[in-house]
Amino acid sequence: MKYAFVSTITHYPSGGADVLWTRAAARALAGGAEVLVVIPPAYAPHPAMRALADAGARLLVRPGLSTYRGRLDGLRRSLRRWGGEQDAEAVLRKFAPDRTFFCQGGLADSMLEEGLLKVLGEGGHPFDLICQSNDDNSLFTESERQRVKALFGRARALWFVSQANRSRAEIQLAQPLPNARLVQNPVDLPPAAALPWPGGDTVKLAVVARWEPYPKGLDLLLPALGRALGAEPGWELRFHGRGEGRGYLEQLAEQHGIGARVSFQGYATNIAEIWREHHLLLLPSRLEGCSLAMIEAMLSGRPVLATAVGGAPEWIEDGREGFLCPAPTVALLAETLTRAWKQRERWRELGLAANRRASALRDPAPEERLLAPT
């Protein structure tokens, strides 16, 4: 059996959206399959990629997507080949996979992979699309909609990480998706009871996410915090992650009078260390699939305050495992933060309920579901 895994995410280093396909690739290798992995340069140094290579996977690092842009693009491709750089389409054609997974950050990023899709069409090789998120606020133009429908119709399976993302796609395309399937992203935490509740007099809030203000709703969160909790004593917010938005977020916090309450801790490799110190996860996203940070916090025994986008309502019942904000706006986030703050004596109880809920919903081996025949 031959598997190819193609990441269409090219603008940031390997992260949560890549855990599923890297686990699936490792499982396929362990089962004796041949594996080709096509990744952008930012992924190459990641330990997961080195582990796949050590296990026998062939790694192809390419500079960008495989969209064709006419004769000039063809000339550039020829020059790269003459310079010794391998062409992704040529490698895929020679590898001739039995099954290819396009690992997408969004819904239909693989539309940009015209070259690779053309190769798969020539050989009649089936492909799956993994859709890691979907934008509740977007619609396709009519020409785009027809193209996405054709792409989805060719796919062997469409994998969504939340029912909400799937339902939104069916609205965007104005048709059911009979080849759609649900799959979870793997969580790097063993099954366990909730962590001990943090002590101290300061309430510690956490954001665990890339510092990308728009999709993560961080530009909404800071004004909402200033409005809801700016005058309240005894709290602080720590951003755990990385990204280019730090300077903007620091200035925004200062603008709304909470600069002294906000700090940036950088990327954390040990999730348990975060939740030994923090009381509540803030997830104010405009755009989500099903947040790994949310599931990790819940498994650790911490409640979550999240906007009702993506998979959040599938994991959190408002007032039971955390707090749901109806939509990503400053006013609604401020209302939800105020409501949560008034109930902070219940947060420990909500955290225990979150641990139970996440433990019951969690799939221990979603990579097996991805690889299984359907």
* Same fold? 2-183, 203-361: yes
| In 192-279, beta strands by DSSP E | 203-208, 235-240, 262-264
Beta-strand relationship, 99-104 and 262-264 = unpaired
* Domain chopping of the chain, boundaries: 2-183, 203-361
CA dist 48 and 197 (Å) reads: 32
CA dist 85 and 107 (Å) reads: 30
Per-residue pLDDT of the chain (374 residues; tens, 9 = 90+): 999 999 988 766 667 778 999 999 999 999 999 999 999 888 888 899 999 999 999 999 987 665 544 444 443 444 344 333 468 999 999 999 999 999 999 999 999 899 999 999 988 999 999 999 999 888 999 999 999 999 999 999 999 999 999 999 999 999 999 999 999 999 988 888 899 999 999 999 999 999 999 999 999 999 999 999 999 999 999 999 989 999 999 999 999 999 999 999 988 778 999 999 999 999 999 999 999 999 999 999 999 999 999 999 999 999 999 999 999 999 999 999 999 999 999 999 999 999 999 999 999 999 999 999 86
Q: Residue 306 half-sphere exposure, CB side, CA atoms within 13 Å?
A: 31
Asked whether the beta carbons of 305 and 235 are under 8 A apart, the reply is no
Q: What is the pLDDT of residue 374?
A: 67
Q: What is the pLDDT of residue 65?
A: 62
CA dist 356 and 246 (Å) reads: 34
Contacts 24+ apart (CB under 8 A), 24-29: 24/101, 24/367, 24/370, 24/371, 25/52, 25/57, 26/51, 26/52, 26/55, 26/367, 27/367, 27/368, 27/371, 28/1, 28/3, 28/371, 29/55, 29/56, 29/57
Total Cβ atoms within 10 A of residue 4: 26
Total Cβ atoms within 10 A of residue 245: 19
Q: In this structure, what are the phi and psi dihedrals at residue 185, rounded to the nearest 5 degrees?
A: -85, 140
Q: What angle do CA 42, 47, 52 make, to 5 degrees?
A: 100
Token pair listed for 306: 């999240």
Total Cβ atoms within 10 A of residue 319: 15
Domain spanning 2-183, CATH architecture: 3-Layer(aba) Sandwich (3.40)
Asked whether the beta carbons of 280 and 205 are under 8 A apart, the reply is yes
CA dist 60 and 36 (Å) reads: 7
CA dist 243 and 267 (Å) reads: 9
Q: Which CATH superfamily is domain 203-361 in?
A: Glycogen Phosphorylase B; (3.40.50.2000)
Helices (H) and strands (E) in the chain, counts: 16, 13
Q: What is the pLDDT of residue 82?
A: 37
